[in-house]
């Protein structure tokens, strides 16, 4: 898994969100996190999770890995 900095540098929005989700989950789970911060961190964790799911769904609809799709042969009679 890429770090959030690496994902941002690569322009990988889904990677950024996945890294952020992991950071948020660790913060929510940490005994060091103040109780006053848990509600906002939990809410943001849920929001980021939804964004990840949305981008993953879009990615799978678009062919997943963005592979090359071969061109079809041109048929001038179709015009």
Task: Please report, for the chain, the start and end positions of each structural domain, with discontinuous segments joined by +.
Answer: 4-62
> CB of 19 within 8 A of CB of 1?
yes
Length of the chain: 79
Q: Quick check: 17 and 49 in contact, CB under 8 A?
A: no
Model confidence over 21-43: pLDDT tens digits? Answer: 999 999 999 999 999 999 999 99
pTM for the structure as a whole: 0.72
Rounded to whole angstroms, the Cα distance separating 38 from 46 reads: 12
How many CA within 13 A on the CB side of residue 52? 14
At 41-67, the pLDDT tens digits run 999 999 999 999 999 999 888 775 555
The Cα–Cα gap between 25 and 7 comes to 18
């Amino acid at each position: 898994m890429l770090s959030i900095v690496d994902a941002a540098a690569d322009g990988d929005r889904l990677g950024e969100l996945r890294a952020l989700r992991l950071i948020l989950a660790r913060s929510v789970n940490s005994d060091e996190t103040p109780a006053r911060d848990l509600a906002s961190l939990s809410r943001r964790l849920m929001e980021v999770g939804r964004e990840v799911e949305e981008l993953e769904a879009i990615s799978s609809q678009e062919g997943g890995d963005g592979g090359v799709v071969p061109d079809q042969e041109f048929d001038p009679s179709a015009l």
